[in-house]
């Protein structure tokens, strides 16, 4: 683990305060349409374990569990973790787990703490990563570190279904941040096979971005297959 510095402390405080004041416009109700459309392309067995980084209270975790998968998430905010279980009428058990608090119900387990504290042991049974809101939540200086740490802790041959947004970054201050396909390729090409599954202009469906002055908004679904080490 890297000791906290002022920038790290500011990052954590930003997200904790947003959850505490329920400023969660980034939260998506219902199941992500790209998850519904492309999950079958991963050809997973029903008993596979799926990791959801920076999971918040995403309802995508419920859908993944309904497919038979064990779900493992990590989330910095205890308020988000508690909201996920309470809003979905799940009675969770919690206990200390290293630097985390582990909450679990119905084989959905969320580690409450910092993603960068995760170890290979925490990811031991994971075969797939579903990233809808992690990479785009991080500023440029943290995205490379995020990818490096993710690749370090997940098992070889892990698949990643990644959802990204791209827009002219100068038009809006993130998060969510603009992450282009060019950047995704630069971050992963030495470590994974990369397949673009879908790319759409979604500005018309996102008035929140138009109101903030964004002139172009592309949403992409990418399948990454980590190469054998």
Does the structure show a pLDDT above 60 at 212? yes
C-alpha distance from residue 161 to each of 76, 83, 121, 143, 198 (Å): 21, 25, 22, 16, 11
Reported as half-sphere exposure (CB side, CA atoms, 13 A), residue 96 has a value of: 2
Query: What is the chain's length?
Result: 229
Q: Give me the domain span that covers residue 12.
A: 6-21+31-226
Rounded mean pLDDT of 224-229? 90
pTM of the model: 0.91
- Calculate what percentage of the chain has a pLDDT beyond 70: 90
pLDDT of 84 reads 95
Domains of the chain: total:
1
Within a domain: 203? yes
What six digits make up the tokens of 34? 């790209």
Domain of residue 166, CATH code = 3.40.50.150
Within a domain: 26? no
> What is the tens place of the pLDDT at every residue in 3-46?
556 666 676 776 666 766 766 555 467 899 999 999 999 999 98
> What is the tens place of the pLDDT at every residue in 123-136?
999 999 999 999 99
Residue 5 or 210, more confident? 210
Rounded mean pLDDT of 99-127? 96
The strand pairing partners of 196, in sequence order, are 222
Distance from C-alpha of 146 to C-alpha of 57, rounded to nearest angstrom:
20
């Amino acid at each position: 683990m890297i000791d906290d510095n002022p920038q790290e402390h500011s990052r954590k405080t930003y997200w904790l305060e947003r959850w505490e004041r329920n400023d969660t416009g980034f939260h998506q109700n219902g199941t992500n349409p790209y998850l519904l459309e492309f999950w079958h392309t991963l050809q997973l067995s029903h008993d596979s374990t799926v990791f959801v980084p920076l999971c918040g209270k995403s309802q995508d975790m419920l859908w993944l569990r309904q497919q038979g998968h064990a779900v493992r998430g990590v989330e910095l905010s205890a308020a988000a973790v508690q909201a996920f279980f309470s809003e979905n009428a799940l009675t969770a058990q919690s206990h200390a787990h290293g630097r985390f608090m582990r909450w679990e119900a119905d084989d959905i387990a969320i580690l409450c703490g910092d993603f960068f504290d995760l170890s290979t042991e925490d990811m031991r049974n994971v075969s797939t990563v579903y990233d809808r809101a992690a990479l785009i939540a991080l500023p440029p200086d943290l995205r490379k570190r995020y990818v490096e740490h993710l690749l370090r802790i997940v098992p070889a041959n892990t698949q990643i279904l990644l959802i990204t947004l791209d827009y002219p970054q100068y038009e809006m201050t993130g998060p969510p941040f603009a992450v282009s396909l060019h950047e995704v390729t630069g971050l992963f090409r030495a470590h994974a096979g990369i397949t673009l599954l879908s790319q759409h202009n979604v500005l018309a469906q996102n008035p929140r971005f138009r109101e903030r002055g964004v002139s172009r908004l592309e949403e992409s679904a990418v399948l990454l297959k980590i190469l054998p080490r």
